[in-house]
Structure 1
Amino acid sequence: MKNIILLIFLLISTIFFSQQIHVRYLRVLSSFTTSHEDLYIKNNQTISIQDSTIINNKLTDSWTMAVNLDNGKKPRKQYFVSDISNDPERNYFFTSNVDSRDFFIYDKVPKIDWKIEENQTKTIAGYKCVKAKGIFRGTNITAYFAKELPYSAGPFKFYGLPGLILDVRADNMDHEIWKAESVDVDDKSTIVFKPKFLNKEKISLKDYVAAKEAHMNKIFAKITDNLPKTNFNAKVTTNQRFTVEQKYEWEE
């Protein structure tokens, strides 16, 4: 009898994990910019695709517009590719662009030391979710995950909880928010989970961060130069990080 129950459990698990999951998140990048992010999971493979569009911000009930600082070019989609594992660090490969240069970056992301609050729950996209808190690269964050969806994954580079993360946000900020709008547990989209980015320049995470911040500092310098000349000598502060990643491992 026990063998039969175990066999049934294994069969159900095999069917469940062989299905393709698709979660669509509303992503709030700033107080005036929103976009969507689509997470796909199949056979322990994950790929998350960030888009940039003009949409209605359902979190603030106001219209917002994507902003692009890359020489007026149309915003590009960004890809975050990984595999689900129980390792203390998880390998991520992601794409980005800085000053018209397209990059393919490797990032080893440490697992967050999550503190789960079992008595704190809410329903997101039809799933009961449990609250968890942690620190991700220098930022205090709060997440809600669904045990009913047994995937240690989430949007962007978030993972490490015993269930799929359907809501995650930086504490005390009005942006850096990901909230699931829909969950499809039997998605039929044709997804390439290990795309080849042969046309992009390979670069380390550390060099990418340096290039990105140097480019942003140039933009801040231009803004400062165009400010009205007053006795206050107004200046835009450089080296600011406006993302959830505030402190990297080599900066410890």
Structure 2
Amino acid sequence: MDLILYPLPAIVGRVIKFKQIFMKKIILFNLLFVASFCFSQQIHVKYLRVLSSFTTTHEDLYIKNNQVLSVQDSIITNNKLTDSWTLGVNLDNGKKPSKQYFVSDLNNEPERNFFFTSSVDSREFFIYDKVPKPDWKIEEDQTKTIAGYKCVKATAIFRGSKVIAYFTKDLPYSAGPFKFYGLPGLILDIRAENKDYEIWKAEWVDADDKKEIVFKPKFLKREKISLKDYVEAKEAHMNKIFAKVADAMPKNNFKTTIITNQRFTVEQKYEWETDPKTK
């Protein structure tokens, strides 16, 4: 058998190259392990949501294995942002407010599918909504601490409203309350600019939540409807309420004008109202 002798520099070079390849594989394995562990944990964020100057609710956000579920509640609570007691107001024939569910998945697409529940005039709906990713402007030098996490400021136009968000890179999930998403971290605070309502602020974060959550509820008893049809039904119902208010007002020399089709929400303009292709 012939014995092949390599020069010493060649042997050293092969050893160094082998170590480099080996270290790269170890680093990649560790990154994959950490990412897998991180995304296998269930995240739970409780937000205080300010609906109006006199109405607050809470919203619970859950994330696990790329699945996202957000649940809005309607309760009597002490408004910690204004230090006053508030009571949720419901105009649906005196019916007790019900929880609202927002179902989605994490992805990097320019649009994200949301399925959410709501009711109009005692009709219960399960609504499909395709939400475009906001064009976020991140300000790395603007930071604050929220629920123990360092957060970075970002701004965007979300369906006709300018919103200001603070997100944390320590929780690498492109998600947030309601239908907000698209940042390289979890949104812990978001609000409509220059308003004392339409605010979501995280009160606490549980990065290892153990609660059993059904991330894909079916809502089989609810009527399936498109977002456009839901918005039209909701605004028609609200206009009826405004008309009743106008009729109940005393008839005198003062002229009363009731503005219809008002949207008391952060969603002020939808895609079919700005893009002729979506009509």
The TM tier, using the shorter chain, reads: over 0.9
What residue is the counterpart of 1:242 in the other structure?
264
Let me know the Cα RMSD of the aligned residues: 0.6
What residue is the counterpart of 1:80 in the other structure?
102
Deviates more, 1:231-240 or 1:72-81: 231-240
| 30, 40, 47: which one aligns with 1:25 | 47
What residue is the counterpart of 2:137 in the other structure?
115
What residue is the counterpart of 2:175 in the other structure?
153
What residue is the counterpart of 1:232 in the other structure?
254
| 194, 197, 208: which one aligns with 1:172 | 194
1:34 maps to amino acid: T
Q: Would you say how many aligned residue pairs link Structure 1 and Structure 2?
A: 252
**C-alpha distance in 1 between matches for 2:112 and 2:179:** 9
What residue is the counterpart of 2:85 in the other structure?
63
1:202 maps to amino acid: K
What residue is the counterpart of 1:94 in the other structure?
116
| 234, 240, 243: which one aligns with 1:221 | 243
| 173, 182, 194: which one aligns with 2:204 | 182
Whose helix proportion is higher, 1 or 2?
2
Residues 23-49 of structure 1: CA distance to partner in whole angstroms, max 9, x if unpaired? 000000000000000000000100000
What residue is the counterpart of 2:20 in the other structure?
none
Unaligned runs of 5+ in 1: none
Q: CA deviation at 1:130?
A: 0.2
Q: CA deviation at 1:68?
A: 0.8
**C-alpha distance in 2 between matches for 1:239 and 1:16:** 44
**C-alpha distance in 2 between matches for 1:58 and 1:215:** 32
What residue is the counterpart of 1:41 in the other structure?
63
**C-alpha distance in 1 between matches for 2:232 and 2:125:** 13
What residue is the counterpart of 2:36 in the other structure?
14
| 113, 135, 144: which one aligns with 2:166 | 144
**C-alpha distance in 1 between matches for 2:126 and 2:142:** 38
Q: CA deviation at 1:12?
A: 1.2
Residues 130-153 of structure 1: CA distance to partner in whole angstroms, max 9, x if unpaired? 000000000000000000000000
What residue is the counterpart of 1:50 in the other structure?
72
What residue is the counterpart of 1:211 in the other structure?
233
1:39 aligned counterpart, secondary structure: strand
**C-alpha distance in 1 between matches for 2:164 and 2:252:** 42
Moved over 6 A (4+): none
Larger Cα Rg: Structure 1 or Structure 2? 2
1:187 aligned counterpart, secondary structure: coil
TM-score after normalising by structure 1: 0.99
**C-alpha distance in 2 between matches for 1:131 and 1:227:** 45
Whose strand proportion is higher, 1 or 2?
1
Q: CA deviation at 1:174?
A: 1.2
1:169 maps to amino acid: R
Deviates more, 1:127-136 or 1:4-13: 4-13
**C-alpha distance in 2 between matches for 1:5 and 1:54:** 50
2:219 aligned counterpart, secondary structure: coil
**C-alpha distance in 1 between matches for 2:250 and 2:201:** 39
Q: CA deviation at 1:173?
A: 1.0
TM-score after normalising by structure 2: 0.89
Q: CA deviation at 1:232?
A: 1.7
Q: CA deviation at 1:228?
A: 2.1
1:54 maps to amino acid: I
Unaligned runs of 5+ in 2: 1-22, 275-279
**C-alpha distance in 2 between matches for 1:173 and 1:115:** 20
| 108, 111, 128: which one aligns with 2:150 | 128
**C-alpha distance in 1 between matches for 2:194 and 2:253:** 33
**C-alpha distance in 2 between matches for 1:230 and 1:22:** 54
**C-alpha distance in 2 between matches for 1:29 and 1:132:** 21
